[in-house]
C-alpha cells in the first residue's frame, strides 16, 4: 500500500480503520453521529478501493451537496494527489442522473438539450394537465356551457389554479415515489391516472423533465435498456455514498441497481436527515439490510469535531425526538470548552451588529482563542436572512463567501445588466454579444453560428457588433442566414430599441429594471435555472426564480440610491430619481461591478480567509471553529408552512426541524452562538425557537437584550453574568459627553462595566451613532 494511504489509515481510530479496510466485496454500512469521522472513514475506504486495484475512474462517490462534494475531493486530493482526486467521479444524485439522462435522452423521448422543470414550471404543467381533464369531462357530458371567451377564461383559470394546487401535491407525490398513470389506475384512481398522464405528456411535448424524472428516468434507463446497465456496471465498479440518510426511495433504487457488484459503502446518520421535503426516507437503512443480506454494519461513536459542551447540548436536543431508529451514544475526549451562548437581540440589525463585532473581535485579538475568518460561519434557515450580513460585511471590510452561485455572476442577472448597458452611451460589443446569447431562442450550436457570423462581419467591415448585426438582420448584407434566424435577430434588435427608449424616457430606474427583467425569455431562464439548481441542489430554486432575482436587484437599487448615490451627489432620493435614468443607471452599474469584483475576490479566497454565509441545509458535512446560528426563532426553526390557513404543525415535521437545528449545532468545533430576534422589520414580536429550551441550563449562557431604561426603571436587581447594551446617540452629541451616560447609570446600580466602550458604528436608522458596552454583576 502506498505510504501516504497507510499514513492516513493509521491516523484513524481502530473502528474507523476496521471500516475503511473491511473486505471490499462486502456491502458496508457505517452508522454514526455527527463529527465521528464518517466522511473521514469513507475517504479511507476510497484509498482501500484504490489499493485493491480499482481505477479512480471506476469509483463513484455520491454526496448531497456540491459543497460536500468539493470538500471530499479536497480531502482525497490532499492524500492521493490532485490528479487521482480529479479522476474520481464525486457527484450529487441530481448531477449524476442528469448526466446519465442527457447521454441517453433519445431513449427517454427527449433531445439531449432537454429542459429541467422546477417548481414553477411543474405548477404550470399541472394547471394545463387539469385543464385538459376538465375539457375532456365537459366534452363527454355534452353540456358544456359556452360563455363569452373573456369571462370564461378568467373564471376557469382561477378555478383551475385553485384545483391545481391539490393536484400539484398529488403529481409531486406520485413522481417522488415513481408512480406511473397505469399504477394509479390499478389503485382505482382513474382521474389521478389521467392528470398524471396529461402532465407527463406535456413535459414530453416540451422536451422537459422534472427533478423526480431525472432519478426515475435513470432507473428506467438501467432497468429497460440492458446496454445502459452494462455500460454503467462496467464503468462504476465501486460506490461510496455519504449522507445516506437523505436518499429518497427512488434514489435508493438507483443505487441498488448500480451496486449489483456489491462493492458499495453507505455512510449516514438518521438524526441528520433533513431533506424529507425532497423525498428523503430513512427507511433506506432497512432496505439496504434486506437487499444486501451479506452486509456488515460498523458503528462509530466518538466525536472528534466539537467540544464536550457542544456534543452534550446537541445530544440533549436530539433526545427529544421520539422517532429515532438508531440510537447512538456519542462521546468525546475533547475538552468541555465554553458554554453555548444564546443571545437575544432586538431585531435583525442588532443581531447583525453583535455577530460582526464578535467576528472582528475573534479574528483579530491575537490570543490563543482567536481564529481566522475562514474558520467562522453564519448559518441560517432561509437564504434571505443572510442578506443583512452581506451588507454589513461589505461596510466593515470583512471578507466573506456565500455558498451557491454569487448573485451578480448568475447568467440571468448578467443578461439583465447587459441589456441595460446597451442603452448607455458608448457601450462596447460585449454586452450586445451577451444579449444575443440570452435572447436568441436557438440551441447552443445555432446561437454560436449566428453570433460568430456577426463577429466576422463586424471584423471585415470594421464596425461595431451591433451595427454589423443591424445590417445583417435588416438584410442590407446578403448572408447565409435562414429566414427564422433573420426574424429572431430582428426581434432582439427591436427589444434593445425598447430598452433604450425605456432608459431614456423613464424616470425611475426601478421601473426600467422591472420591465427589462420581464423581457428575459422563459426558455433562457429555464436553461440557467436548470444548471444552477442541479449543481447547487434544489434549495437554490427560489434564488433563481425571476421574481426573486428582480427583488434582489431592486433591493440593491434602493440601497444604492439611499447610500452611495445620494451620499456622493449630496442629493435627496427624489432628486436622484429626477436626474434621469441614464445617469443613475450608469452609476448603479459601476456600483454593482464593484460588488461583482468583491464576490470574485471572496470566492477566490473561499475557505482560506473569508467568513462563510450559508443555509443550514447547505452546511451538511462541513465544520468551522466558530458557528453563529442566526434567527433561531419560531417561524424559522421550526418553519411551519400554512396551507389554506391550516398550520402544518405535526410531530413528524417538528422532529425534522429539530434535526435541522441539530445539524447546525454540530457544525461547530469550538464555539457556538445561537441568536434570536425579538422583533421583525414590521415591529411584530417574534418568539425564540421552542428548541432553545431543550438545551440544558448548565451548558448555555443566556445573554438577554435589556435596554438601559429597563434596568434603570426595574426596582429589583436582575442577576446577570454579562449583558451587552446598545444606545443610540444623536449624531450632534459630543462623544466625550456621552461617555458619562453609563457611568451615571452604573454608579447607581449593582452592575459594573465589564468592557471598554466599543467603537461607535452608524445607527441603523441613520440618525446617530450606536455605542455598545457590557456590564456584569458587581
Ligand atoms: P458529519 O456527520 O457532520 O458529516 P462526520 O461523521 O462525517 O461528520 P468527519 O467530517 O469525517 O465526521 O470528521 C469530523 C472531524 O473529526 C474532522 O475534522 C476530522 O478530521 C476529525 N476526525 C475524524 N476522525 C478522527 C480521528 N480518528 N482522529 C482525529 N481526528 C479525527
Ligand atoms: Mg460527514
What would the grid cell of residue 19 be?
471500516
- Assign 508 a pLDDT band (cuts: 50, 70, 90): confident
pLDDT for 559: 66
Distance CA 352, CA 301 (A): 36
- Cβ of 16 below 6 Å from ligand 1: yes
pLDDT for 767: 53
pLDDT for 143: 52
Higher pLDDT, 683 or 693: 693
pLDDT tops 80 at residue 23: yes
Percent of the chain with pLDDT over 90: 40
Average of pLDDT values for 749-778?
55
Beta bridge pairs of residue 116: 209
**Is the bond preceding residue 638 a cis peptide, omega within 30 degrees?**
yes
Distance CA 569, CA 672 (A): 43
pLDDT for 277: 72
CA of 542 to the centre of ligand 1 (A): 32
Distance CA 164, CA 381 (A): 28
Concatenated DSSP letters for 548-587? Answer: HHHHHHHHHHHHHIIIIIHHHHT--HHHHHHT-HHHHHHH
Side-by-side strand order, sheet with 668-677: 400-402, 611-615, 376-380, 624-629, 668-677, 340-345, 700-703
Angle ∠(664,667,673) on CA atoms, nearest 5: 70
Higher pLDDT, 376 or 275: 376
Distance CA 516, CA 518 (A): 5
Given ligand 1 and candidates 11, 19, 35, 307, which is best to mutate, with the most ligand atoms within 8 Å of its CB?
A: 35
Least confident range of 34-48, 432-446, 632-646: 632-646
What's the pTM value of the predicted model, to 2 decimals?
Answer: 0.68
Atom 24 (ligand 1): residue with closest C-alpha?
37
Atom of ligand 1 nearest to the CA of 667: 3
pLDDT tops 50 at residue 155: no
Query: pLDDT digit string (tens) for 102-147?
Result: 889 999 999 876 776 766 678 878 988 988 888 777 776 655 454 4
- Cβ of 39 below 6 Å from ligand 1: yes
pLDDT tops 80 at residue 733: no
Distance CA 128, CA 204 (A): 13
Distance CA 411, CA 536 (A): 15
Helices (H), ranges, 405-476: 411-422, 429-439, 444-460, 465-473
CA of 38 to the centre of ligand 2 (A): 5
- Cβ of 332 below 6 Å from ligand 1: no
What are phi and psi for residue 655, nearest 5 degrees? -65, -35
Short-list 588, 591, 594, 664, CA closest to 623: 664
Short-list 421, 388, 365, CA closest to 628: 388
Q: Which of 92-96, 283-287, 672-676 has the highest mean pLDDT?
A: 672-676
Burial of residue 554, with CB atoms counted within 10 A of its CB: 0-12 exposed, 13-18 middle, 19 or more buried: middle
pLDDT for 737: 38
- Assign 644 a pLDDT band (cuts: 50, 70, 90): very low
User: SS3 of 768, please?
Assistant: strand
pLDDT for 399: 83
- Cβ of 38 below 6 Å from ligand 1: yes
Atom of ligand 1 nearest to the CA of 663: 3
Mean pLDDT estimate for the chain = 80
Concatenated DSSP letters for 51-63? Answer: HTT--GGGEEEEE
pLDDT for 746: 59
Beta bridge pairs of residue 239: 60, 264
pLDDT for 314: 96
- Assign 66 a pLDDT band (cuts: 50, 70, 90): low
Q: Is 36 annotated as a binding residue?
A: yes
Helices and strands in the chain: count of H runs, count of E runs = 33, 21
Count the residues in the chain. 778
Place of cell 456600483: 591
- Assign 382 a pLDDT band (cuts: 50, 70, 90): confident
pLDDT for 506: 73
Higher pLDDT, 776 or 508: 508
Least confident range of 231-240, 647-656, 684-693: 647-656
pLDDT for 339: 95
Query: pLDDT digit string (tens) for 264-288?
Result: 999 999 999 888 777 778 889 999 9
Higher pLDDT, 240 or 136: 240
Q: Is 760 annotated as a binding residue?
A: no
List b or e across 234-262, with b for residues whose CB sees 16 or more CB atoms inside 10 angstroms. eebbbbbbbbbbbbbbbbbbbbbbbbeee
- HSE at residue 543, side-chain half, CA atoms within 13 A, is 28
What would the grid cell of residue 218 be?
435513470
Q: Which of 36-50, 443-457, 470-484 has the highest mean pLDDT?
A: 36-50
pLDDT tops 60 at residue 452: yes
Interface predicted TM-score of the whole assembly (ipTM), two decimals: 0.99
Least confident range of 364-368, 438-442, 502-506: 364-368
pLDDT tops 60 at residue 53: yes
- Assign 706 a pLDDT band (cuts: 50, 70, 90): low
Distance CA 690, CA 500 (A): 53
- Cβ of 12 below 6 Å from ligand 1: yes
pLDDT tops 50 at residue 156: yes
CA of 411 to the centre of ligand 1 (A): 37
pLDDT for 150: 38
Distance CA 472, CA 479 (A): 7
Phi-psi map region of 188: left, alpha, beta (phi>0 left; psi -120 to 50 alpha): left
Beta 768-777 vs 761-762: how paired, if at all? Answer: antiparallel
CB 448 within 8 A of CB 485: no
Q: Is 35 annotated as a binding residue?
A: yes
- In the chain, the N- to C-terminal Cα span, in Å, equals 63
What would the grid cell of residue 312 be?
452534550
Amino acid at each position: 500500500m502506498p505510504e501516504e494511504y497507510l499514513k492516513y489509515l493509521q491516523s484513524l481510530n481502530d473502528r474507523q480503520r476496521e471500516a475503511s479496510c473491511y473486505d471490499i466485496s462486502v456491502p458496508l454500512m457505517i452508522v454514526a453521529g455527527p463529527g465521528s469521522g464518517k466522511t473521514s472513514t469513507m475517504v479511507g475506504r476510497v484509498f482501500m478501493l484504490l489499493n485493491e486495484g480499482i481505477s479512480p475512474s471506476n469509483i463513484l462517490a455520491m454526496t448531497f451537496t456540491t459543497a460536500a462534494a468539493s470538500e471530499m475531493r479536497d480531502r482525497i486530493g490532499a492524500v492521493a494527489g490532485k490528479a487521482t482526486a480529479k479522476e474520481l467521479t464525486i457527484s450529487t444524485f441530481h448531477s449524476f442522473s442528469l448526466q446519465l439522462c442527457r447521454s441517453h435522452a433519445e431513449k427517454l423521448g427527449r433531445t439531449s438539450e432537454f429542459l429541467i422543470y422546477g417548481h414553477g414550471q411543474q405548477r404550470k404543467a399541472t394547471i394545463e394537465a387539469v385543464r385538459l381533464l376538465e375539457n375532456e369531462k365537459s366534452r363527454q357530458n355534452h353540456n358544456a356551457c359556452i360563455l363569452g371567451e373573456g369571462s370564461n377564461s378568467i373564471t376557469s383559470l382561477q378555478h383551475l389554479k385553485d384545483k391545481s394546487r391539490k393536484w400539484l401535491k398529488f403529481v409531486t407525490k406520485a413522481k417522488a415515489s415513481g408512480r406511473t398513470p397505469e399504477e394509479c389506475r390499478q389503485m382505482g384512481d382513474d382521474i389521478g391516472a389521467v392528470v398524471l398522464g396529461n402532465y407527463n405528456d406535456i413535459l414530453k411535448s416540451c422536451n422537459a423533465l422534472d427533478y423526480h424524472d431525472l432519478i426515475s428516468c435513470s432507473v428506467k434507463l438501467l432497468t429497460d435498456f440492458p446496454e445502459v446497465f452494462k455500460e454503467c456496471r462496467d464503468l462504476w465498479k465501486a460506490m461510496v455514498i455519504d449522507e445516506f440518510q437523505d436518499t429518497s426511495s427512488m434514489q435508493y433504487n438507483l443505487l441498488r441497481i448500480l451496486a449489483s457488484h456489491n462493492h458499495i459503502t453507505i455512510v449516514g446518520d438518521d438524526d441528520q436527515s433533513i431533506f424529507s421535503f425532497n423525498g428523503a426516507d430513512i427507511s433506506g437503512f432497512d432496505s439496504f439490510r434486506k437487499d444486501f443480506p451479506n452486509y456488515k454494519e460498523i458503528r462509530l461513536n466518538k466525536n472528534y469535531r466539537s467540544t464536550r459542551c457542544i456534543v452534550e447540548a446537541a445530544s440533549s436536543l436530539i433526545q427529544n425526538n421520539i422517532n429515532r431508529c438508531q440510537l447512538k451514544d456519542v462521546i468525546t475526549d475533547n475538552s468541555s470548552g465554553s458554554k453555548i451562548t444564546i443571545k437575544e437581540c432586538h431585531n435583525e440589525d442588532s443581531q447583525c451588529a453583535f455577530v460582526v463585532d464578535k467576528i472582528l473581535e475573534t479574528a483579530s485579538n491575537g490570543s490563543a482563542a482567536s481564529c481566522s475568518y475562514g474558520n467562522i460561519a453564519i448559518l441560517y434557515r432561509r437564504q434571505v436572512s443572510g442578506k443583512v450580513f452581506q451588507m454589513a460585511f461589505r461596510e466593515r471590510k470583512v471578507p466573506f463567501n456565500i455558498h451557491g452561485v454569487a448573485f451578480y455572476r448568475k447568467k440571468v442577472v448578467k443578461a439583465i445588466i447587459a441589456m441595460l448597458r446597451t442603452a448607455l452611451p458608448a457601450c462596447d460589443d460585449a454586452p450586445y454579444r451577451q444579449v444575443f446569447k440570452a435572447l436568441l431562442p436557438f440551441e447552443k450550436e445555432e446561437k454560436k453560428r449566428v453570433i460568430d457570423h456577426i463577429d466576422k462581419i463586424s471584423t471585415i467591415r470594421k464596425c461595431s457588433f451591433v451595427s454589423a448585426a443591424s445590417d445583417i438582420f435588416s438584410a442590407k448584407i446578403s448572408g447565409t442566414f435562414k429566414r427564422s434566424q433573420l426574424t429572431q435577430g430582428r426581434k432582439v434588435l427591436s427589444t434593445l430599441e425598447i430598452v433604450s427608449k425605456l432608459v431614456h424616457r423613464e424616470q425611475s430606474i426601478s421601473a426600467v429594471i422591472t420591465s427589462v427583467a420581464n423581457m428575459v425569455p422563459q426558455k433562457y431562464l429555464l436553461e440557467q435555472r436548470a444548471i444552477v439548481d442541479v449543481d447547487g441542489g434544489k434549495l437554490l430554486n427560489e434564488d433563481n426564480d425571476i421574481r426573486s432575482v428582480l427583488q434582489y436587484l431592486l433591493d440593491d437599487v434602493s440601497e444604492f440610491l439611499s447610500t452611495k448615490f445620494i451620499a456622493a451627489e449630496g442629493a435627496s432620493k427624489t432628486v436622484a430619481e429626477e436626474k434621469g435614468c441614464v445617469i443613475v443607471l450608469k452609476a448603479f452599474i459601476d456600483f454593482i461591478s464593484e460588488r461583482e469584483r468583491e464576490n470574485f475576490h471572496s470566492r477566490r479566497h473561499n475557505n482560506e480567509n473569508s467568513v462563510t454565509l450559508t443555509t443550514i441545509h447547505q452546511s451538511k458535512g462541513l465544520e468551522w471553529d466558530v458557528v453563529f446560528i442566526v434567527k433561531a426563532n419560531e417561524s424559522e426553526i421550526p418553519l411551519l408552512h400554512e396551507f389554506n390557513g391550516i398550520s402544518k404543525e405535526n410531530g413528524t415535521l417538528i422532529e425534522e426541524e429539530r434535526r435541522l437545528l441539530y445539524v447546525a449545532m454540530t457544525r461547530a468545533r469550538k464555539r457556538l452562538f445561537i441568536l434570536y430576534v425579538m422583533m421583525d422589520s414590521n415591529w411584530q414580536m417574534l418568539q425564540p425557537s421552542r428548541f432553545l429550551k431543550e438545551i440544558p441550563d448548565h451548558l448555555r449562557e443566556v445573554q438577554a437584550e435589556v435596554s438601559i431604561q429597563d434596568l434603570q426603571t426595574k426596582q429589583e436587581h436582575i442577576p446577570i453574568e454579562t449583558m451587552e447594551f446598545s444606545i443610540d446617540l444623536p449624531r450632534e452629541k459630543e462623544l466625550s459627553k456621552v461617555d458619562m451616560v453609563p457611568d451615571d447609570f452604573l454608579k447607581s446600580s449593582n452592575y459594573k462595566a465589564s468592557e471598554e466602550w466599543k467603537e461607535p458604528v452608524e445607527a441603523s436608522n441613520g440618525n446617530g451613532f450606536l455605542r455598545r458596552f457590557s456590564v456584569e454583576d458587581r
